[in-house]
Structure 1
Amino acid sequence: MAIHTLNPSCQPLRVSGDAIVNAAGERIVLKGTALGGYLNMENFITGYPGHEHEHRAALASVLGKEKAQFFFDRLLHYFFTEADAKFFASLGMNCIRLPFNYRHFIDDQDPTSFKKEGFDLMDRVINICTRYNLYVVLDLHAAPGGQNQDWHSDSGLNKAMFWEFRVFQDQAIELWKAIATRYKGNPVVCGYNLLNEPADPEHVRLISWYERAEKAIRAVDPDTMLFIDGNTYAMDFTYFQNVLPNAVYACHDYAMFGFPIPGQPLYSGSDDHKGKLKRQFDRKALFMREKKVPIWNGEFGPVYANESVDPEAEKVNNARYHMLQDQLNIYDQDKVSWSIWLYKDIGYQGMVYVNPDTPYMKLIAPFVAKKQKLALDFWGCVDKESVKDVYAPFIEGLKKMVPEHIQKKKYPHIWTFDRQVERAVRECLMSEYLGWEFAELFEGKTEAELEELARSFAFENCIKRDGLNRILEEDGRNSAK
């Protein structure tokens, strides 16, 4: 059966000056999305609290290992299919960023061999994207030990231990060598995003690791582009001096106007608001412009209000669509490549999201509401006021124990003392406890019932976020002219 797509066949890409180009030397602007939730799960994407490895272990304790594995296998099967790729390509976009967790490839109890299952899952997405002429950027989103302090590096901690142990750093390089050996020469796999949102408190260890990783990868794959995130969550290039060959440098450009921050005005499109968006991006892209290398905005995008619970949702979301449109206009001025976060979830940011009437959403909806009320997820929590009576006096008491100037010492320094406590207590400790409660929702489920729960994530059971997709389609079609 012929496949109809707006995208031309994928060709090998490379860096030339400040552009990504094809074999003919024509500039290619990558415009895409991230398939978060597939090879790297996140709590706000599918609903559980805390960290992925804890979620998997909790479900295995309730269902047994075989049934739990069955459920996860079926969920991933439905999470991205040809129907998803066909829809995505129909919007005129041309690239999928594929975040992956090292745990799919490395067994911590047998770290010297690689798991075939992880490569099978990666192959599946690449093969589907091949049929729809979609480039793929492979993204190491969760490295051994955790390359940052956040939930999405799946360490279970609020410290980035990747930087403290050479063995973790070496494991990540060996994994990249195996990936590069497998996919070298595949024009669909256009790039290796070496480390998502690294956060090295000393900065220089990240630079050293990038240099070592580049040498190791180039020994087996001399041609595939590298995508290099800045430090401190892809926002800080202060310690970067040299550029690696055939490398695209990446920032992440989330705008505060896109988040439900109490007291923050809605984005208005005024000169002042547009100016803030522009200055924010210019600051992050300064290194790339000075070095005259391609810019990739690896993540951006607002969180959307839920129309079923927020009477102001339409007004809020229209303001966030407006902000997104203005961001895209800024990127277009410099022909910046980008990857919006995110393709599919349960309703926060996705281009498509699981229908509330599906079995999965009916099962987890009360828990998700409780999780939001308890403010367990940083990303999926709209209002933290409901737990203020518990945490405010606790945090104020802790602050009295620590001199004020020392409260600012913990990295990342831009985070307040309150944020550091929130990360440790709510997002790690309390989320681990509530993870067992979430798992109990699945207790006693048969394989047939688990199949139906997983099927909730199939494209035909999802709702398209039309306002967002219209903006992306218009941008994609205009760039194709």
Structure 2
Amino acid sequence: MFRSLRRALGAAAAAAALLLPLAGVQAAHADPAATAEATSAAAAPGAGYWHTSGRQILDAAGQPVRIAGINWFGFETSNNAVHGLWARDYKSMIDQMKSLGYNAIRLPYSDDILKSGAVANSIDFSGGKNADLQGLSPLQIIDKLVAYAGRDGLKVILDRHRPDAGGQSALWYTAAVPETTWITNLKSLAARYKGNPTVIGIDLHNEPHDPACWGCGDTTRDWRLAAQRAGNAVLSANSELLIFVEGVQTVDGVSGWWGGNLMGVAQYPVQLDVPNRVVYSAHDYATSVAQQNWFSDPSFPANMPGVWDKYWGYIFKQNIAPVWVGEFGTTLQSTVDQKWLAALVSYLRPTGTYGADSMSWTFWSWNPNSGDTGGILKDDWTTVDTVKDGYLASVKAPGFPAEGGGSDPGDPGDPGGGAACTAAYTVSSDWGGGFNAEVKVTNSGRTALKSWKTTWTWPGAQKVTSMWNASYTQSGPTVTTTNADHNGAVAVGGSAMFGFGGAPGGGGVPAVSCTAT
């Protein structure tokens, strides 16, 4: 009633996308590695499983953490895999997310991926791309994404987006996918990733809407009661997970975005058997998705904080529970949408140590093929929309330490058992026709590094002409380096340096990611 469905390209468009030429990735607006270098991973919040306390999300050590992430969709469609794998390797995209300063991935899925015999499609394996995904089931592909995201220091939230690939549903069940199947599958996923704190929680169902209610007491429609049933089932399988609960559309006759109305929490909070696990999730969009009456208010955009306070912000401000804006996005084509996004970012802007007094978020979306919002990536699945990404700069958060372990027996997980590193890039000289630069790799983890690699992407045509104290490969604008034999081992808190020459000059300072290998 209030919004159009966000349209995703399917397999046919995916095949066509294979023909798109790749363009250079735009440089990130800031270097998150520099921020990470200032706070070692040994002390940085984020390790282990998380829990809640009032409006804060806390890590295993009780330190406040903040989700500042991105939605990467596709498992909820007939492709049964994240989109874009027809164009790029999944590892390069996760590395790029990290380099841009995102610290979490929300992965939408449908229950179809849990069916026996489910098969992923539209994945390009040529030239070594996605080689380790070949022959895997959709769930095994998620295992690989989780394992690699954890090594990069990104957290993962699983989002039950649809009951099947055909489309979203107003209620958490349909005739074909009853509540029993929904709960069984949620428990299965919770158990699958038990012991792997890269997966911090599950978003129980995406965008409940009319006739869903909150607090009406009708067990066939009351989303709050259903969330309690499902949340308790998830926690019975893995008591460490966060339970993300979205709103509905209408409460007491007041309507808003699908999943974006949490007014009912004031009278009817979600109560689970395990305390300190509930995070409320709001969705909020701009006019490229649908028109709302507040966009035409004469006081817009000054009226927006009051709108958000009414629907969901009060939960945070009254210290009831944490709030996570699980989806928000826009094409940014209209002036109204630009003002809306600027106002929302201001509303979300953190205060306090590590943004302790702030809400969490995951932007919609990484994918460019979201029909009414577009994405952080442009249509070539490589180039960054730096204008859109730039709006989010002030609400991004420091990264988290890499997590080891996982449910993928064929993947070594975190090879260092707490190994992590950061990298700082410095241009030492630039004479127009060429330049010299150096990169400092610092062990920011809890154990000694055995080896490391760094990756960056230039915005222009720069190429490495020579390198010392490291080896490299370059593909288009993206450079990947690995340590030399003599400087791969780095003690906790220690550093290693390498340098290189490049041409032409004027390349600026790209964001550099560092990975313990």
Q: TM-score range by the shorter chain?
A: 0.5 to 0.7
Does 1:127 pair with 2:147?
A: yes
- Among candidates 379, 399, 418, match of residue 354 of structure 1: 379
Does 1:94 pair with 2:120?
A: no
Does 1:40 pair with 2:76?
A: yes
Structure 1 unpaired stretches of 5+ = 42-51, 57-68, 110-114, 145-152, 306-315, 356-456
Whole-angstrom CA distance in 2 between matches of 1:175 and 1:206? 18
- Among candidates 468, 473, 477, match of residue 388 of structure 2: 468
Does 1:340 pair with 2:363?
A: yes
Whole-angstrom CA distance in 1 between matches of 2:244 and 2:320? 15
After TM superposition, the score normalised by the length of structure 1 is: 0.57
Query: What number of residue pairs does the alignment pair up?
Result: 315
**Residue 303 of structure 1 aligns with which residue?**
331
Whole-angstrom CA distance in 2 between matches of 1:476 and 1:287? 22
Deviation at 1:476, TM superposition (A): 2.0
**Residue 253 of structure 1 aligns with which residue?**
284
Whole-angstrom CA distance in 1 between matches of 2:293 and 2:57? 41
CA, structure 1 residues 30+74, in 2 after alignment: closer, same or farther (shift >3 Å)? closer
CA, structure 1 residues 166+243, in 2 after alignment: closer, same or farther (shift >3 Å)? farther
Is the contact made by 2:376 and 2:384 (CA closer than 8 Å) also made in structure 1?
Answer: yes
Is the contact made by 1:6 and 1:90 (CA closer than 8 Å) also made in structure 2?
Answer: no
Structure with the larger strand share: 2
Q: Which amino acid aligns with 2:362?
A: S
- Among candidates 161, 166, 173, match of residue 154 of structure 1: 166
- Among candidates 20, 28, 32, match of residue 65 of structure 2: 28
Whole-angstrom CA distance in 2 between matches of 1:183 and 1:91? 26
Secondary structure at the counterpart of residue 274 of structure 1:
coil
Whole-angstrom CA distance in 2 between matches of 1:108 and 1:211? 31
Structure with the larger helix share: 1
Q: Which amino acid aligns with 1:252?
A: H
CA, structure 1 residues 349+341, in 2 after alignment: closer, same or farther (shift >3 Å)? same
Q: Which amino acid aligns with 2:389?
A: N
Does 1:183 pair with 2:193?
A: yes
**Residue 472 of structure 2 aligns with which residue?**
none
Over the matched positions of the two proteins, sequence identity in percent amounts to: 22
Deviation at 1:262, TM superposition (A): 12
- Among candidates 143, 147, 156, match of residue 163 of structure 2: 143
Whole-angstrom CA distance in 2 between matches of 1:216 and 1:260? 35
CA, structure 1 residues 175+467, in 2 after alignment: closer, same or farther (shift >3 Å)? same
Is the contact made by 1:40 and 1:101 (CA closer than 8 Å) also made in structure 2?
Answer: yes
Deviations 1:256-289 (A, max 9, x none): 3x5586999899xxx9223232122112213454
Please, what is the CA RMSD of the aligned residues? 3.7
Q: Which amino acid aligns with 1:135?
A: K
Is the contact made by 1:160 and 1:200 (CA closer than 8 Å) also made in structure 2?
Answer: yes
Whole-angstrom CA distance in 1 between matches of 2:343 and 2:98? 23
Query: How do 1:205-220 residues align onto structure 2 when only pairs under 5 Å count?
Result: 205-220=222-237
Whole-angstrom CA distance in 2 between matches of 1:80 and 1:324? 30
CA, structure 1 residues 303+266, in 2 after alignment: closer, same or farther (shift >3 Å)? farther
Deviation at 1:341, TM superposition (A): 0.4
Query: How do 1:310-459 residues align onto structure 2 when only pairs under 5 Å count?
Result: 316=334, 320-332=337-349, 335-346=358-369, 348-355=373-380, 457=381
Q: Which amino acid aligns with 2:230?
A: A
- Among candidates 104, 108, 111, match of residue 113 of structure 2: 104
Deviation at 1:77, TM superposition (A): 5.8
After TM superposition, the score normalised by the length of structure 2 is: 0.54
Deviation at 1:170, TM superposition (A): 0.8
Does 1:294 pair with 2:319?
A: no
Whole-angstrom CA distance in 2 between matches of 1:231 and 1:264? 18
Q: Which amino acid aligns with 1:101?
A: S
Deviation at 1:344, TM superposition (A): 1.7
- Among candidates 12, 28, 51, match of residue 14 of structure 1: 51
- Among candidates 262, 267, 274, match of residue 237 of structure 1: 262
Whole-angstrom CA distance in 2 between matches of 1:73 and 1:342? 12
Whole-angstrom CA distance in 2 between matches of 1:479 and 1:122? 21
Secondary structure at the counterpart of residue 101 of structure 2:
coil
Whole-angstrom CA distance in 2 between matches of 1:201 and 1:260? 19
Deviations 1:26-73 (A, max 9, x none): 21111011002x2123xxxxxxxxxx4xxx7xxxxxxxxxxxx9xx89
Deviation at 1:120, TM superposition (A): 0.9
- Among candidates 191, 194, 207, match of residue 197 of structure 1: 207
Whole-angstrom CA distance in 2 between matches of 1:173 and 1:225? 16
**Residue 373 of structure 1 aligns with which residue?**
none
